[in-house]
């Protein structure tokens, strides 16, 4: 029943800013805490007998002791967690199944190309998972070249790359292209000299769906098969996401070239002054990884 009010309530003032927390009501917070801790690889932010909280993605996951107002189980709403890549879904299902959970609904592909699936945990809750569509990586063919040149123009402001005082033209690099169905969704370009291979560019579009990781993994595999022992790449001081990605995959920082981007800008004025995260674009960082387990 609506309450009588003397003044109108302005919904525009509410301004919902997105979701902040997903709460699962569970009969046993301790057991659920261990389950979620193993699933996310994280320790809880808050760990109390009846309430436990984890940081997950951009938000928070809370485990709350089930009570009459919030019983365990599913009552219509399901939170869907986004997975980094499609293969992770099969792993997630198996992980739940080996811990007393089960696949409940799906997987199926939605009209947006994402694969959706619900699994139940051993406490009766539903976990929705959304996984991006699969990606196939292939060596670049002649017919990929115009697209690649266009990608460089859009992503890198031209058909050349200038760094470490060297110059690469898009027509002179090897490339791997990522495909999703009939669409090209990313590329890695590189040059090989003897036993060293250099990653010239890595792009994913859309970002955050495992395409960059897939391209990098395939590049490393191909390079190992060609007898390459040292992988190297140059990134810039603003590119914190790329720095995280490479370092998590075993690349180590081997050199800092202060103000090198400012010098490259003389050759290529289209290099912007400000890069990712609003950071001034100034310096180059060189990373390297040895294949075969040796030190970089
Ligand atoms: C860098 C780039 C190629 C990465 O490709 P991607 O497909 O977006 O990356 P992935 O989805 O494979 O994710 C890689 C990692 O970044 C994380 N990540 C992806 N998007 C993220 C985001 N928006 N916020 C935080 N982390 C994110 C993923 O969780 C993943 O983490 P992991 O290392 O623990 O697995 C892509 O972001 C891109 O095209 N950037 C612009 C071009 C560029 O800067 N290239 C690098 C030049 S050296």
* Domain range annotation of the chain: 19-72, 76-132, 136-290
Note the helical H segments in the chain.
29-40, 87-97, 145-156, 211-225, 240-248, 260-267
Using most ligand atoms within 8 A of CB, pick from 188, 190, 210, 212 the residue to mutate for ligand 1: 212
Question: In ligand 1, which atom is closest to the CA atom of 213?
Answer: 12
Compute CA distances 1 → 4, 145, 234, 287, whole Å. 9, 64, 63, 64
Ligand 1, atom 1, lies closest to the CA of 242
Q: What is the pLDDT of residues 59-70, one digit of tens each?
A: 899 999 999 999
What is the pLDDT, as a whole number, of residue 75?
83
Compute CA distances 251 → 164, 254, 286, 293, whole Å. 18, 9, 10, 12
Rounded-to-integer distance, Cα 66 and Cα 12, Å? 34
Ligand 1, atom 10, lies closest to the CA of 210
Architecture in CATH for domain 76-132: Roll (3.10)
Question: Is residue 82 helix, strand or coil?
Answer: strand
Which residue ranges have their beta carbon within 6 Å of ligand 1? 84, 155, 202-204, 207-213, 233, 235, 239, 241-242, 245, 248
Q: What is the pLDDT of residues 165-219, one digit of tens each?
A: 788 999 999 999 999 989 999 999 999 999 999 999 999 998 988 899 999 999 9
What is the pLDDT, as a whole number, of residue 194?
94
Q: What kind of fold does domain 19-72 have according to CATH?
A: 3.30.720
What is the pLDDT, as a whole number, of residue 4?
65
Using most ligand atoms within 8 A of CB, pick from 245, 246, 276 the residue to mutate for ligand 1: 245
Question: In ligand 1, which atom is closest to the CA atom of 242?
Answer: 1
- Cβ neighbour number for residue 283 with a 10 Å cutoff: 16
Using most ligand atoms within 8 A of CB, pick from 82, 91, 177, 208 the residue to mutate for ligand 1: 208
What is the pLDDT, as a whole number, of residue 13?
84
Architecture in CATH for domain 136-290: 3-Layer(aba) Sandwich (3.40)
d(CA 217, ligand 1 centre) in Å = 13
What is the pLDDT, as a whole number, of residue 51?
97
Ligand 1, atom 25, lies closest to the CA of 241
pTM: predicted TM-score of the whole model, two decimal places = 0.79
Question: In ligand 1, which atom is closest to the CA atom of 155?
Answer: 42
Rounded-to-integer distance, Cα 126 and Cα 65, Å? 16
Task: Tell me phi and psi for residue 18, to 5 degrees.
Answer: 105, 170
What is the pLDDT, as a whole number, of residue 293?
54
In the chain, what's the furthest Cα-to-Cα distance? 80
Rounded-to-integer distance, Cα 31 and Cα 112, Å? 36
For the chain, which residues score pLDDT lower than 70?
Answer: 1-4, 293-296
């Amino acid at each position: 029943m609506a309450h009588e009010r003397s003044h109108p309530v302005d919904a525009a003032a509410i301004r919902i800013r997105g979701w902040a927390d997903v709460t699962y009501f569970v009969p046993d917070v301790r057991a659920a805490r261990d389950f979620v801790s193993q699933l996310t690889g994280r320790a809880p932010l808050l760990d109390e007998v009846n309430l436990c909280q984890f940081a997950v993605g951009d938000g928070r996951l809370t485990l709350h002791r089930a009570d009459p107002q919030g019983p365990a189980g599913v009552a219509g709403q399901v939170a869907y967690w986004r997975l980094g890549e499609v293969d992770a879904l099969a792993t997630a299902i198996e992980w739940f199944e080996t811990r007393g959970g089960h696949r409940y609904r799906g997987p199926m592909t939605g009209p947006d190309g994402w694969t959706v699936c619900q699994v139940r945990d051993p406490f009766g809750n539903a976990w929705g998972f959304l996984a991006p569509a699969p990606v196939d990586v292939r060596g670049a063919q002649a017919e990929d070249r115009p697209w690649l040149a266009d990608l460089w123009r859009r992503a890198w402001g031209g058909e050349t790359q200038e760094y470490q005082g060297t110059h690469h033209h898009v027509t002179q690099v090897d490339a791997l292209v990522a495909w999703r169905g009939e669409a090209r969704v990313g590329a890695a370009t590189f040059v090989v000299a003897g036993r060293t291979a250099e990653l010239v560019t890595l792009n994913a579009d859309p970002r955050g769906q495992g395409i960059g990781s897939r391209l990098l993994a395939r590049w490393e595999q191909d390079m190992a098969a060609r007898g390459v022992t040292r992988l190297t790449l140059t990134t810039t001081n603003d590119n914190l996401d790329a720095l995280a990605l490479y370092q998590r995959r075993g690349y180590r920082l081997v050199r800092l070239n202060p103000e090198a981007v400012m010098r490259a800008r003389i050759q290529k004025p289209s290099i912007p002054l400000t890069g990712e995260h609003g950071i001034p674009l100034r310096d180059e960082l060189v990373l390297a990884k040895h294949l075969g387990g040796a030190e970089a």
